[in-house]
């Protein structure tokens, strides 16, 4: 297969991406920070840092710490609120030639819906990702751990807003497939998984937690097997497309997620230590798909056999 003949575009429900490589919320700022390093127009999509209705200062420092094979963060959705986002960040994001999937988090169903209604129809907003999975704030994660609340929230947003909706799930549940089925029943166009895994770091000499908020979310290479397992299981439970996230840092990682059942991927923590990783992955993607005899991304999605 000639790599030039491989089609990279993918469909996430009503959202079409020119390729399956996106960057994950909270790891790419509002994109401006990465200009000069990354050719934004080549990306399949950008997820800016999650926004909330009101500005939030986030959690007390320290808020990040390196671990043996990843990082722990307890940022706590530090952001300037939706109106500041629309005024200060969206014009730049809208000028980029890629899909902007705005990540939103509400403290209540009403707040989620108010945010979705406000963003609906604004130039440059291609879709919403519902962050119902941040381990570092109280409240919002309930929508990602209770199937009935999850379904009602997604349905409520579908009812009031015409944008495609992605639901981003947490791995910090007993059965992620159950939550995924609820998101699908509510009308989600696609399901993103996973957000970070709850963890902590300890300074034993001081007998203290290291993070100011005590607990944080683990990300990076350490969580890739957890994310792959989640994608594999959820792919067997729902019919909607999946977006795989967790420890992706190379073309091999991307191919593993696609074969396991993801239609697209998001690169997160790797952006911090290898800012051009998404470009290298895009360079390598057509040949990797061609190696499996694929003419398009869909040809490999979920094609994994049994052990
Ligand atoms: C510093 C940091 C901040 C994050 N902030 C957000 C956020 O605002 N919203 C969100 O949905 N996910 C957030 N995440 C989670 C990532 O988007 C991603 O789901 C997770 O880190 C797993 O992917 P990775 O291992 O490739 O980083 C954050 C992750 C990190 C490391």
Residue-wise pLDDT for 11-66, tens only, equals 999 999 999 999 999 999 999 999 999 999 999 999 999 999 999 999 999 999 99
CB-facing half-sphere around the CA of 271: CA atoms within 13 A? 24
The model's pLDDT over 250-271, given as tens digits with 9 standing for 90+, comes to: 999 999 999 999 999 999 999 9
What number is the average pLDDT over the span 78-101? 98
- Closest C-alpha residue for ligand 1 atom 5: 26
Q: Catalytic residue at 197?
A: no
- Predicted TM-score (pTM) above 0.95: yes
For position 139, what pLDDT does the model report?
Answer: 65
- Which mutation among 70, 135, 195, 201 tests ligand 1's pocket best, with the greatest number of atoms within 8 A of CB? 195
Q: Minimal CA–CA distance to 127: which of 161, 100, 94?
A: 100
The model's pLDDT over 215-251, given as tens digits with 9 standing for 90+, comes to: 999 999 999 999 999 999 999 999 999 999 999 999 9
Residue 209 has pLDDT above 90, yes or no: yes
Strand partners, 129: 103, 166
CB-facing half-sphere around the CA of 192: CA atoms within 13 A? 30
- Which mutation among 66, 196, 212, 274 tests ligand 1's pocket best, with the greatest number of atoms within 8 A of CB? 196
Residue 136 has pLDDT above 80, yes or no: no
What number is the average pLDDT over the span 176-184? 98
Average confidence score pLDDT of the chain: 96
- Tokens 């895009």, located at residue: 282
For position 2, what pLDDT does the model report?
Answer: 80
Residues with CB under 6 A from ligand 1: 24-27, 49-50, 71, 73, 75, 77, 103, 131, 134, 168, 195-196, 219-220, 223, 245-248, 267-270
For position 196, what pLDDT does the model report?
Answer: 97
What is the CA(293)–ligand 1 centre distance, in A? 33
């Amino acid at each position: 297969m000639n790599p030039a003949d491989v089609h990279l575009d993918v469909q996430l429900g009503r959202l079409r991406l020119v390729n399956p490589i996106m960057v994950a919320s909270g790891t790419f700022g509002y994109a401006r920070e990465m200009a000069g390093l990354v050719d934004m127009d080549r990306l399949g999509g950008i997820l800016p840092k999650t926004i909330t209705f009101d500005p939030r200062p986030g959690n007390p420092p320290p808020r990040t710490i390196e671990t043996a094979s990843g990082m722990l963060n307890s940022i706590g959705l530090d952001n300037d609120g939706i109106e500041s986002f629309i005024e200060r960040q969206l014009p730049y994001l809208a000028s980029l030639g890629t899909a902007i999937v705005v990540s939103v988090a509400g403290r209540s169903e009403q707040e989620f819906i108010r945010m979705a209604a406000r963003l609906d129809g604004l130039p440059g907003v291609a879709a919403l990702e519902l962050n119902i999975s941040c381990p570092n704030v109280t409240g919002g994660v309930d929508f990602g751990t209770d199937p009935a609340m999850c379904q009602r929230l997604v349905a409520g947003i579908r009812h009031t807003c015409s944008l495609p909706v992605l639901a981003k799930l947490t791995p910090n549940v007993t059965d992620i497939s159950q939550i995924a089925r609820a998101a699908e029943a509510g009308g989600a166009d696609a399901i993103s998984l996973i957000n970070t895994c709850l963890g902590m770091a300890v300074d034993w000499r001081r007998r203290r937690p290291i993070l100011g908020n005590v607990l944080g979310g683990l990300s990076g290479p350490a969580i890739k097997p957890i994310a792959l397992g989640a994608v594999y299981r959820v792919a067997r439970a729902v019919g909607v497309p999946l977006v795989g996230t967790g420890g992706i840092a190379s073309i091999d990682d991307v191919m593993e997620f696609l074969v396991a059942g993801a239609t697209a991927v998001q690169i997160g923590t790797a952006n911090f230590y290898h800012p051009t990783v998404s470009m290298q992955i895009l360079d390598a993607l057509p040949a990797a798909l061609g190696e499996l005899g694929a003419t398009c991304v869909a040809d490999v999605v979920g094609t994994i056999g049994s052990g």
